[in-house]
Amino acid sequence: MNVKLHLTPTSFKRSDLADNVAVVIDVLRCTTSICAALSAGARGVIPTIGPGEAVDMWTKLGSNLAILAGEREGVRIENFQLGNSPLEFTAESVGGKLVVMTTTNGTRAFVESSQAALVLSAALVNIGLIADRIVAEGRDVAIVCAGREGGFSIEDTLCGGMLIDLIAAEQRGELDLNDAGSLALLLYRSNKTAIKQSIAQGEHGRYLTRIGFADDIENAAAVDSIPVLPVLQDGRLVLEQ
């Protein structure tokens, strides 16, 4: 099985992903929040790139059906109902609703990956189910790390490395990895006993702690704590039936 990891969503062409399973990872915090939202009973999450596009979509859907969520520089966008903390996505806030979401890095990664045959939303909180689904699908895999402001992100790369480790264990046969995939695997295996600390000590982790979101790191680092399988269907992330 061919597994390519991309440290950022800008290091591949969209057409490269045709016939692949694309796995989007934004541990802090987009894909963690997507798991939280769907697990809390949201009908779907619609990733959009810009706040303007998000507001247009939300207006079109109507406030009975939809709710606006998003951040810039980690903080809730003004006039949006929700920010990007997984703890905000509860049955009360999102149950039965469509969440229109825009985040700095994560939602763009979904748009860049949308030409893949199957698009999954992965985080540490649902990594085990993601690995199972990939092995069941049997296609080549593109792991798309959302990264941070155009650069690489240690938590997404670590999560991608863990996914490769799990696939390798389930798959048995040799995996054909690209250089970034080998690097991610090395990063994971060097930090597997200290995942939470590695994330907390990273640039983004320290930033989130500074602006008051230390709990989100704890939450995002809890491996397999929200076992759901979000797939992209017609532009929205829903639980796979």
Q: Which residues bind its own copies (CB under 8 A)?
A: 6-8, 10-12, 149-154, 157, 178-180, 182-183, 186-187, 190, 202-203
| CB 160, min distance to its own copies, A | 12
Minimum CB distance to its own copies smaller for 5 or for 82: 5
How far is residue 88's CA from residue 24's CA, in Å, rounded to a whole number? Answer: 21
How far is residue 237's CA from residue 98's CA, in Å, rounded to a whole number? Answer: 10
Minimum CB distance to its own copies smaller for 203 or for 218: 203
How far is residue 233's CA from residue 177's CA, in Å, rounded to a whole number? Answer: 27
| CB 105, min distance to its own copies, A | 12
Minimum CB distance to its own copies smaller for 58 or for 213: 213
CA proximity to 223, closest of 192, 201, 178? 192
How far is residue 175's CA from residue 167's CA, in Å, rounded to a whole number? Answer: 8
| CB 54, min distance to its own copies, A | 26
Minimum CB distance to its own copies smaller for 37 or for 185: 185
Residue matched to tokens 């009360």: 92
How far is residue 220's CA from residue 146's CA, in Å, rounded to a whole number? Answer: 15
| CB 142, min distance to its own copies, A | 13
